């Protein structure tokens, strides 16, 4: 166990001590006490109290802690990993040498009836003497083997003394008790978790740390536990089937050459699978804006296919709340044009499930109606667009698509504002992200224009390249995200992008319920290998007869710390391995239309 505090833990510990010692009536200046604080940092007893506090916090809220996506980066986790500090105590001659008796919380037997006061006093004195001897022996053993004083072993041995009957005719009772204590070894084995492959050895911790040889036929393991003892490897192996605390009785030798077997016992703890801790609760039937827990849709066009799915997250299941995500996918009739939209309602907003629904439906309808009207004109502009050349037609195309998104986003904002007005509540109660893509999927080229407000991702995927059609839109503070609002629409051009690609294998839109566990950070979104891994997972699902249902089942994957709603929309071509013309010299171009003027 580490005896040196990790610098980050020492910093946190110092901050705590500084706060505790600060004079609240004065300016926070403790420079004159720096040496004192430095001494406190070196005091292992004080640090262990600090560690105990962290452990108590974890014990009281382990479930909530484990659900935090950043739990492994918290100081609480680091302190728990640091562990306690070993304390090597001197061996005293009697208990009076300690400032406080170690066994102060042990209650000497009160229920033994003695009519003779002197006998009762003698019994008390005898047990006090024995307790002192046992403590002396424990301390001597710990120091000689450079170990910390084991509280569990000490408690066990002291209990031997307390349970012993007084015997005035046995002058060597002290020796007998100590010999009994010496014969009580203490064993440990690492904890296991239900459903995870396990293998570990039972090791003696007292009177010294060492492995022991155990007979596989002489260890008691319940058949229901799912484990067995491997004689050759001297390990407990298997996959635990149930959680709990189990006593494993066994017979062992210090080495194989030893003749006699000795009896041992170890406490084996199996923690539950975190997934088993999740509850599935239904929302209140009287809540407004009832919403299904999942949804999916599949569109098969001539040159492409679209599948989308949305699944209520485990955090919502556990809390008994609704799915906040939503989506919309459409194909313009008899054309190569398509619309994909996903939205993630803010978890802190009471009616965000309705906000995301209004956003995708309002925007989707405007985009659908306007694309039908502008389709012929847009097709002419695309036909005249020379790849890798930014000419007037390209500029006109970008302006057309930007205007289209502007009107659609403004309509979505107005729909949410109208709903808030009708309900006489703050419009922020309907807060939602909004990610949308307009796509024209030609046999050899893919045109995409995107609109991106909030977290999640929009990406154009090819086997050797990933292109993000924007970036996650953070809020004012770290960990926040921006939501659709009239203010955002007034700064609209910064959120629209357009690209024209010859090597597009798929277009993907997703909420952060998928992007967070798969990419972890905003920087991770640029990692091609992570996108390749994601594609390897979902590509087989797209081959199913009902790919939207296959995606829905896939989206139920378990990822510790990531339990939000999960929504994914994918557009791909019939031939998933589209050949790229090697002589085309990667003739693709992207245009960002950030600096174009907006209508309205």
Decide: helix, strand or coil at residue 553.
helix
pTM score, two decimals?
0.63
Name the most confidently modeled range: 133-147, 257-271, 386-400: 257-271
Q: How many angstroms separate the CA atoms of 188 and 176, rounded?
A: 26
Average model confidence (pLDDT) for the chain? Answer: 79
State in Å, rounded, how far the first CA of the chain is from the last one.
66
- Max Cα separation, the chain? 114
| Averaged pLDDT for residues 566-585 | 66
- pLDDT, residue 359, reads 97
> Which phi and psi angles does 509 have, rounded to 5°?
-120, 135
- pLDDT, residue 384, reads 75
Give 576 or 20, the one with higher predicted confidence. Answer: 20
Alpha-carbon dihedral sign for residues 407, 410, 416, 417: negative
Q: How confident is the model at residue 114 (pLDDT cuts 50, 70, 90)?
A: very low
| Helices and strands, counts by H and E, the chain | 14, 22
| Averaged pLDDT for residues 151-173 | 53
What's the pLDDT tens digit per position in 91-104? 333 333 333 333 33
Q: How many angstroms separate the CA atoms of 417 and 430, rounded?
A: 9
What does the domain layout of the chain look like in residue ranges?
Answer: 51-83, 186-273, 294-572
- Residue 178 pLDDT > 60, yes or no? no
Picking from 372, 353, 191, 351, the residue whose alpha carbon sits closest to that of residue 271 is 191
Tokens 């939205």 found at: 343
Domains 186-273 and 294-572 share a fold: no
Helix H or strand E segment including 206? strand 203-206
**Do the beta carbons of residue 456 and residue 509 sit within 8 Å?**
yes
- pLDDT, residue 320, reads 93
> Long-range CB contacts (< 8 A, 24+ apart) of 440-444?
440/336, 440/337, 440/338, 440/378, 440/379, 440/382, 441/301, 441/303, 441/304, 441/336, 441/338, 441/571, 441/573, 442/303, 442/336, 443/303, 444/502, 444/581
Q: How many angstroms separate the CA atoms of 170 and 342, rounded?
A: 83
What's the pLDDT tens digit per position in 285-295? 999 999 999 99
Give 340 or 61, the one with higher predicted confidence. Answer: 340
- pLDDT, residue 168, reads 45
| Averaged pLDDT for residues 485-501 | 83
Q: In this structure, what is the dihedral angle of CA atoms 20, 22, 23, 27, given to the nearest 10 degrees?
A: -150
Which CATH number describes the domain made up of 294-572? 3.60.40.10
CATH fold, domain 186-273, is: Immunoglobulin-like (2.60.40)
Q: How confident is the model at residue 542 (pLDDT cuts 50, 70, 90)?
A: very high
């Amino acid at each position: 166990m580490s005896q040196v505090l990790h610098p980050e833990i020492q910093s946190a510990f110092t901050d705590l001590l500084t706060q505790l010692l600060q004079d609240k009536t004065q300016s926070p200046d403790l420079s004159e006490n720096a040496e004192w604080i430095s001494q406190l940092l070196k005091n292992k007893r004080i640090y262990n109290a600090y560690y105990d506090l962290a452990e108590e916090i974890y014990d009281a809220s382990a479930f909530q802690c484990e659900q935090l996506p950043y739990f492994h980066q918290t100081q609480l986790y680091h302190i728990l990993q640091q562990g306690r500090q070993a304390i090597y105590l001197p061996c005293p001659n009697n208990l009076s040498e300690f400032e406080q008796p170690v066994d102060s919380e042990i209650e000497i037997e009160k229920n033994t009836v003695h009519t003779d006061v002197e006998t009762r006093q003698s019994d008390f004195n005898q047990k006090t003497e024995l307790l002192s001897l046992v403590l002396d022996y424990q301390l001597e053993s710990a120091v000689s083997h450079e170990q910390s004083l084991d509280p569990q072993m000490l408690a066990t041995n002291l209990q031997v003394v307390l349970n012993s009957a007084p015997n005035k005719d046995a002058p060597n009772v002290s020796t007998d008790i100590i010999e009994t204590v010496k014969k009580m070894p203490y064993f440990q084995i690492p904890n296991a978790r239900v459903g995870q492959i396990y293998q570990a050895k039972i090791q003696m911790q007292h009177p010294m740390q060492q492995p022991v040889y155990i007979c596989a036929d002489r260890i008691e393991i319940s058949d229901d536990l799912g484990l067995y003892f491997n004689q050759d490897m001297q390990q407990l192996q298997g996959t635990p089937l149930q959680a709990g605390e189990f006593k494993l009785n066994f017979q062992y030798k210090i080495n194989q050459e030893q003749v006699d077997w000795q009896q041992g016992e170890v406490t084996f703890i199996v923690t539950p699978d975190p997934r088993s801790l999740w509850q599935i609760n239904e929302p209140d039937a009287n809540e407004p804006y009832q919403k299904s827990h999942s949804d999916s849709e599949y569109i098969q066009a001539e040159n492409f296919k679209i599948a989308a799915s949305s699944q209520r997250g485990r955090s919502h299941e556990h809390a008994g709340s609704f799915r906040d995500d939503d989506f919309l996918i459409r194909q313009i009739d008899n054309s190569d044009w398509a619309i994909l939209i996903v939205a993630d309602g803010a978890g802190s907003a009471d009616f965000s499930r309705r906000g995301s629904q209004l956003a995708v439906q309002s925007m989707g309808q405007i985009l659908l109606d306007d694309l039908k009207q502008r389709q012929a004109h847009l097709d002419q502009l695309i036909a005249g667009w020379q790849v890798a050349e930014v000419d007037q037609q390209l500029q006109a195309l970008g302006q057309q698509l930007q205007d289209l998104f502007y009107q659609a986003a403004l309509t979505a904002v107005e729909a949410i504002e109208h709903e808030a007005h009708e309900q006489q509540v703050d419009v922020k109660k309907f807060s939602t992200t909004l990610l949308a893509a307009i796509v024209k999927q030609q046999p050899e080229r893919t045109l995409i224009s995107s609109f991106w407000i909030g977290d999640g991702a929009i990406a154009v995927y090819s086997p050797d390249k990933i292109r993000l059609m924007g970036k996650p839109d953070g809020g004012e503070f770290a960990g926040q995200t921006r939501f659709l609002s009239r203010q955002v629409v007034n700064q609209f051009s910064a959120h629209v992008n357009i690209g024209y690609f010859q090597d597009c294998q798929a277009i993907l839109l997703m909420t952060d319920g998928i992007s967070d566990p798969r990419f972890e950070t905003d920087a991770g979104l640029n990692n091609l290998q992570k996108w390749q891994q994601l594609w390897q997972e979902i590509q087989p699902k797209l081959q199913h007869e009902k790919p939207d249902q296959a995606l829905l089942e896939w989206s139920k994957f378990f990822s510790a710390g990531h339990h939000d709603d999960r929504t994914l929309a994918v557009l791909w071509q019939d031939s998933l391995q589209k050949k790229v013309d090697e002589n085309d010299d990667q003739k693709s171009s992207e245009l960002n239309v950030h600096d174009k003027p907006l209508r309205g």
